[in-house]
Chains A and B, each alone.
Chain A
Amino acid sequence: MGLDLHADSSISTYDNAAEGRDVIPSGTAQRNAPHVARPLAIHVENLSRIYKSRGEKKKKGEQAVPKTLNALDGVDLEVYQGELFGLLGPNGAGKTTLIKILTTLLAPSSGTARVDGLDVVRDSNEVRRRINMVSGGETSGYGILTVRENLWMFSQFYGVTWKDAYARIDELLKIVELEDKKNALVSSLSTGQRQRMNFCRGFVTDPKVMFLDEPTLGLDVHAARIIREFTKDWLQKNPDRTLLLTTHYMAEADELCDRIAIIDHGKVLACDTPANLKRLLQKQPTFEISAAGITERTVAALSSAPGVVGVTALPDPSGASQKLNFILEDESAIGSVVSTLTAHNGSILTLQKNEPTLEDVFIKLVGRSLTAAEPTE
């Protein structure tokens, strides 16, 4: 049932172009002309990372059994120079582990990873000259220094001259609307302002490959919009730069990314443009039903109803009803959905057919939504 996306999980944009598929999402056509052969900015081959921990003793005197976790399991990935590449996955999927390996903070257990043609293990010093990373929710920086001093300090670790650093800092602070705070102590900044400062920290060194790990996490709408706008603008002005982004926000990934890899349990499940990923589901209609009287048993019954490929249930903010999203084998399956619902005493309030979204693709591939509760590791 459904599509077997696991079989060939690393279809590149350029392979798709050869097949005559619509490769380029809006606004990025010039940067990503598919016929132009470009060098790889990131090249990951069969990369694995296993975490080991001591484990716990069950009884006194017993030997602790070591625990292992395969955070990455044979990942292959190619990101081309000039791309804004997205990594989508739930918590524990392996996104941050992958970024940490690429930014030389973590050693892989096996496989190879190259950034700008350089091996992240063997040539880590050279890789570091070319990269930077900003993580969402980061609280780095010294509260006792001003915003400008902090950014200057971080720029010095990359050897940027004072003149270049100050010019770049002033330019970036203006873009992220923190110009009036440049002489304020970092300890006086709000969370959003601090996050914007950290964003500047990453870009002040003008990296060739930039890693953004959940950059808009916890930001208000305005601050998140500033960061998204800046990200797009930076790549448009610097087409030889590359940006790898991880995010929980589907709309953000859809809006920004040229290509997206969906990752779960350490494996890349699919990799393509947002448009092509959504096209994978076009033969499978999606429906949204708002209904009352839904129990866990109802959802379980719906998921095994004939013709249902996937279903997720989210409570309505009012608490009176639930929003059910269905992916069906074909439109006729909606009949079995309605009859299953009514058989379980559910009352349908609204029913509508939706165009597939990245969220639907994600549910199809991962088996749950990004906002659904995550299994504990």
Chain B
Amino acid sequence: MRKSVGLELFLRGAFARGYPRVFGAHRELSWLFFEIVIPLINISAYVFLYRALNAPEQYVGFVVVGGAMATYWLNVLWMMASQLYWDKQAGLLEIYIMSPASLMSILLGMGVGGLYMSTLRAGAITIIGSLLYNVRFDGSQWGFALLVFVVTMIALYGLGMLLSSVFLMWGREAWQISLALQEPVYFMAGMQFPLSKLFLTIPGVFTLISAAVPVSFGLDAMRQLLFPGQIVGVFAPWIELLILAAMGVVFVTIAFIMLRRMEWLAKVEARLSLRWQ
């Protein structure tokens, strides 16, 4: 029996781990309701609020784009960062670790599969939200906006890999940390309002925390590119793109180092499996 090694093994591992998310997800369509309708209700609440306050109409567009991007953050938090905790509960983590495929390839598969699922949701939210609330996008810089989106995703899923490595050591705490991070990041990333308004209000140290979440600058840059002249960004889109690119490199590199380190620590401290015996 021929068994591949090196890059081929890495790609096989990533493809196989992505398979349940990409192909399996189509077998259970109940997520359509929970993950599209419920975020749309949340978006609608902000749309009604802004309109009731006579806020500029472009804010409706900001909220729709923010709502779409929130799906990626939720995916990274629940199906990437804390996934190794669920896998441990299900007895899958042992199987992954025991196999010759690297944990990075498993996480890449999780990430790509999650990205695919989230893109379906985000696409549906954007289309339905835009039609419902008559949002008009400017497509003149779509190539640049797409580039910003791709780089944001690399940085965001890199952060997810990094969090995975930390969560590898934790049990139930991982679930609680995910829960604790969810809503504050909505606020810190300006999911429902322009990031520049937040940066003008909060103390400097909090702006750094906000900037550490890739969705913040990704969302700010995309809003500037999709609604030109209607929003004041924190930085120009190209600067934010460079920051995001640097974050992607840093997060993925640290994730790679941390995964190895955490795997070793987990082996020493017997945290890779539920049962001691």
Cβ of A240 to closest chain B Cβ, rounded Å: 13
B240-277 CB contacts (< 8 Å) to partner A: 264, 267-270, 272-273, 275-277
Cβ of A246 to closest chain B Cβ, rounded Å: 10
* Chain A-chain B contacts (Cβ-Cβ < 8 Å), number: 118
A110-153 CB contacts (< 8 Å) to partner B: 125, 128-129, 131-133, 135, 138-142, 144-145, 149, 152-153
Contact of A104 among B13, B98, B268 (CB under 8 A): B98
User: Contacting chain A: which of B14-22, B176-184, B204-212?
Assistant: B14-22
Closest residue to B14 on the A side, CB-wise? A156
Query: Once the chains bind, are B270 and A51 in contact (CB under 8 Å)?
Result: yes
Cβ of B251 to closest chain A Cβ, rounded Å: 24
Query: Once the chains bind, are B277 and A71 in contact (CB under 8 Å)?
Result: yes
- B116 at the A interface (CB under 8 A): no
Instruction: Report the count of interface residues on A (CB-CB < 8 A).
Output: 48
Q: Mark A353-371, 1 if CB is under 8 A from B, else 0.
A: 0000000000000000000
User: Contacting chain B: which of A6-14, A158-166, A273-281, A295-303?
Assistant: A158-166
Query: Once the chains bind, are A168 and B277 in contact (CB under 8 Å)?
Result: no
Q: Which residues on the A side are within 8 Å of B106 (C-beta)?
A: 157
Q: Mark B24-40, 1 if CB is under 8 A from A, else 0.
A: 11011000000000000
- A105 at the B interface (CB under 8 A): yes
Query: Once the chains bind, are B100 and A105 in contact (CB under 8 Å)?
Result: no
Known: A51-B276, A139-B90, A164-B1. A144 touches B27 (CB 8 A): yes
Q: Mark B97-111, 1 if CB is under 8 A from A, else 0.
A: 111110000100000
Cβ of A32 to closest chain B Cβ, rounded Å: 25
B87-123 CB contacts (< 8 Å) to partner A: 90-92, 94-101, 106
A152-193 CB contacts (< 8 Å) to partner B: 152-154, 156-161, 164, 168, 185
Query: Once the chains bind, are B20 and A145 in contact (CB under 8 Å)?
Result: yes
Q: Which residues on the A side are within 8 Å of B198 (C-beta)?
A: none
User: Contact residues of A with B, CB < 8 Å?
Assistant: 51-52, 69, 71, 91-97, 100, 103-107, 125, 128-129, 131-133, 135, 138-142, 144-145, 149, 152-154, 156-161, 164, 168, 185, 201, 205-206, 377
Known: A129-B100, A145-B23, A149-B19. 6 other contacts (CB 8 A): A96-B275, A106-B272, A129-B3, A157-B16, A157-B95, A377-B277
28 CB-based A-B contacts, threshold 8 Å:
A51-B270, A52-B269, A69-B276, A71-B276, A104-B267, A105-B272, A106-B273, A107-B267, A129-B100, A131-B98, A139-B91, A142-B24, A144-B20, A144-B25, A145-B20, A145-B23, A154-B95, A156-B101, A157-B101, A158-B3, A158-B9, A158-B99, A159-B5, A159-B9, A159-B12, A159-B13, A201-B95, A377-B276
